Amino acid sequence: MLKIPKDQRRLYQTKFSFGATAAIITNLALISGLDTLAHPKWSILGGILIIAVADNISDSVAVHIYQESEGINEGEAWLSTVTNFLARAFISATFIILVAVLPITLAVSCSVIWGLALLAIMSYMIARGRKVNPFLAILEHMSIAITVIVASHAVGRWIIGRF
């Protein structure tokens, strides 16, 4: 079995967690904001696909340019770019599957549970690696995600009520 040094594992975890966190929160915001539309399943699927492509590419390029501006070597910058892209694409695909195969009400609930569970697991793993209280890290990250979900849902309801 290939042994990866602890500092190298931490580097890979950092690269994955950035893209995964962005994908989880962005997709949950979109799902909870668009579930109020007349045809939410198609709107949500279209939105997630747009996020999986356009937002993912723009975010990955932004990570790459940022790292270049910080003077990080080219290989490391490309590793971050590709890892960010793949993490976001994978997470988005899991939400696409949930929305595509489940009735919309169940898909929204399952997506929120799935996204928050992923976020909690990542928060726990990172907190353990940093030797900080995992409960506080999970609470902090969940609070932010839930705030985004509630705000997105409220904006969706407000738009439907206005127009």
* Beta carbons of 87 and 19 less than 8 angstroms apart: yes
Q: Could you tell me if residue 46 is inside a domain?
A: yes
* Beta carbons of 81 and 13 less than 8 angstroms apart: no
110 vs 73: CA distance, rounded Å: 40
What contacts 63, CB < 8 A, 6 or more positions away?
Answer: 18, 80, 81, 84
Domain count, the chain: 1
Q: Could you tell me if residue 154 is inside a domain?
A: yes
What's the pLDDT at 69? 86
88 vs 81: CA distance, rounded Å: 11
pTM for the full model? 0.82
Q: Could you tell me if residue 2 is inside a domain?
A: no
Q: Could you tell me if residue 66 is inside a domain?
A: yes
Q: Which tens digits make up the pLDDT trace of 88-145?
A: 999 999 999 999 999 999 999 999 999 999 999 999 999 998 999 999 999 999 999 9
Q: Could you tell me if residue 1 is inside a domain?
A: no
Domain hosting residue 90, numbered range: 8-162
Q: Could you tell me if residue 30 is inside a domain?
A: yes
